[in-house]
Amino acid sequence: MRRDRILHPQLAQALATLGHSDILLVTDAGFPIPADARRIDLAFYPGMVDVLDILQVLRQEMFFDEIRMASEVPQCNPQLYDDVQRIFTGSGADFSALPHAQFLQQVPTRAKVVIRSGSLNPWANFAMTASTDPFAWFSEGMTPLAEYVERCRRIEENVVPELH
Q: Are 91 and 2 in contact (CB under 8 A)?
A: no
For residue 79, give Cα distances in angstroms to 24, 67, 96, 127: 22, 17, 17, 18
Catalytic residue among 8, 20, 100, 164: 20
Q: What is the CA radius of gyration of the chain?
A: 16
Q: What is the mean pLDDT of each run of 10 residues along the chain (164 residues)?
A: 75 93 97 94 92 96 96 97 98 96 95 97 96 86 87 94 88
| Residue 109 pLDDT | 94
- What is the C-alpha separation between 105 and 50, in angstroms, rounded? 23
Q: Are 148 and 134 in contact (CB under 8 A)?
A: yes
Active-site residue, 100 included: no
| Residue 164 pLDDT | 74
User: pTM for this structure?
Assistant: 0.93
Domains of the chain: 32-133+145-156 (3.40.1650.10)
H helical segments located in 7-142: 9-16, 51-61, 73-76, 78-88, 100-106
| Residue 107 pLDDT | 95
Concatenated DSSP letters of 13-34? HHHHT--TT-EEEEE-TT----
